[in-house]
Structure 1
Amino acid sequence: MMMFKRITALLRGRVGDAETAFSDAQALPLLRQQLRDATVGLEAAQRAVAVVVAYHKREQNRTDDIAERLTDLETRTRAALAQEKDALAHEGATAIAELEQEREASRAVLAGYETEIRRLREDVTLAQRRLRALQRGKTLAEATAATQKLRGTMPAGVTASLREAEETLARLQARQTHAADAAAAYADLSAEGSAETASDRLASAGCGPRKQSDAESVLARLRGATSSLPA
């Protein structure tokens, strides 16, 4: 039973890994399509705002027309009252009352439109900001994907060969440096350890007689020999 559970869990894990790998591989195409869908939806929302604005404008024109009719009726009803034409004045007052009710209803409709327009515009503005941010992110993701793709064109063997060549060159340079240092040290030791070389350097420094004859030393020797002869 325990083994069966483990096998089942393993299969689910492999399925999950496969789904994750597929989703990762298709993430960029999926993002592009989602942004296209969001753009279409945003355009539809903008058209909806335009429609509501048109309704609001039409209702506003209707309210303005009612206001003009009310002004005209009130003027005429006052004139009827001034002329004591009560029947006409009552008829005018009835029409005024009906128009006032219609005006209030129209104002309520306008308020509803204004609320809806404000809400829709806020939603559209927020959606536009989010869409722009997503589009910038998509551009960055596409550039990163292109860079990674180009990086992936470098064969793995090239990197390994370059690393091995660098190590070989470093070893070669180290050996050459060591050989040069050894040769220089050997030359110094040979020069310093030679008795002949030490004697020559002492003679050159004036310590003892010169080891090699020169014209001056020959002349000095000959003068000494001549002066010692009997006159």
Structure 2
Amino acid sequence: MNIWSKMITALRGGVNEAGEAIVDSQALRILDQEVRDAGEELKRSKDSLAEIMARQKLAEEKCKQLQKNIEEHEGYAAKALEKGDEKLALEVASRIAEFENGLASEQEASEGFAQSVTKLRAAIDQAEKNIKRLKQQVDTVKATENVQRAQAAVAERHSGSDSKMRTAMESLERIKERQALKDAQFKAADEMAKTSGDDSLKAKLEAAGITTNGPSAEDILARIKNKKAPE
């Protein structure tokens, strides 16, 4: 596989991943639409059932009318035979045959409609149960999604508060460190000021001929001698 083929494959993979991400993000909306679509299909099925039932009713009524026509014309044929008019009786019999053929056709259509009604009724009943069960599951999924969204929000806030707490503690430590440094600087400046003051005073005393040194060895020896001398 050359580089171009690999790039095309990578792009296709990216498109698929993007498509899956969109589907996942809109899963509940898609699910709701699919349930609505199923409901619309069910409605159309019920409309079809109503139409087939209407056709079955019409076929049954035609069968009743044809059966009535057959019985009525059989009476006509019988009366024609009673009068010895066989030709007329045969003509009526021919008409009866047409009615019977029509009756057979309408009965077949009626039976076909009846079978379709039975099958369609069963299919609609099953579809209604499936849609009802699906809606219940959708409600459960939505409730679970809401709970998980709330849990995620709580977890995010908790994580955010931990992060903010760590940031606050770090800021507090930096403030303490800065304050400690300032305090040390103030103490050092104070010590330097005191030392500088002592040196300045000593210099002034020495300039005035006043010694700031302690007693000399000679002074200490004289003091000792004076203590030992008898009074």
Give the TM-score, by structure 2 length.
0.62
Change (3 A) 1:153 1:10: same
- 2:141 is the alignment partner of 1:141: yes
Q: Count how many residue pairs are aligned between Structure 1 and Structure 2.
A: 163
AA partner of residue 34 (structure 2): Q
Offset from partner CA, 1:17-40 (integer Å, 9 cap, x none): 322221111110001011111111
Which residue is equivalent to 1:94?
Answer: 94
Q: Deviations over 1:90-121 (max 9, x none)?
A: 22211111111111111121122123222322
Aligned AA (1:50): A
What SS does the aligned partner of 2:84 have?
coil
Separation in 1, partners of 2:2, 2:100: 82
Q: What code does the residue aligned with 2:81 have?
A: L
Any unmatched runs of 5+ in structure 1? Answer: 163-231
Secondary structure, aligned partner of 1:54: helix
AA in 2 matched with 1:67: Q
CA distance change for structure 1 residues 146 and 90 in 2, over 3 Å: closer, same or farther? Answer: same
Residue 174 of structure 1 corresponds to: none
Task: Tell me which structure has the larger Cα radius of gyration.
Answer: 2
What's the TM-score, normalizing by structure 1?
0.62
Distance in 1, Cα, partners of 2:157 & 2:102: 85
- Between 1:90-99 and 1:43-52, the stretch displaced more is 90-99
Deviations 1:113-161 (A, max 9, x none): 1232223223222222221121111111110111111112214462697
**Identical columns (%):** 25
Partner AA of 1:80 in structure 2:
A
Give 1:63 shift.
Answer: 0.6
Q: Flag the 1:95–1:156 CA change in 2: closer, same or farther, 3 A.
A: closer
CA RMSD of aligned residues (A): 2.5
Secondary structure, aligned partner of 1:154 = helix
Q: How does 1:146-225 map to 2 (within 5 A)?
A: 146-156=146-156, 158=158
Residue 43 of structure 1 corresponds to 43
Residue 182 of structure 2 aligns with which residue? none
Please tell me whether residue 58 in structure 1 is matched to residue 89 in structure 2: no
| Counterparts in 2 of 1:85 and 1:9: CA distance versus 1, 3 Å | closer
Unaligned runs of 5+ in 2: 163-231
Letter in 2 for 1:96: I
* Structure 1 residues 80 and 29, CA gap change in structure 2 (3 angstroms): same
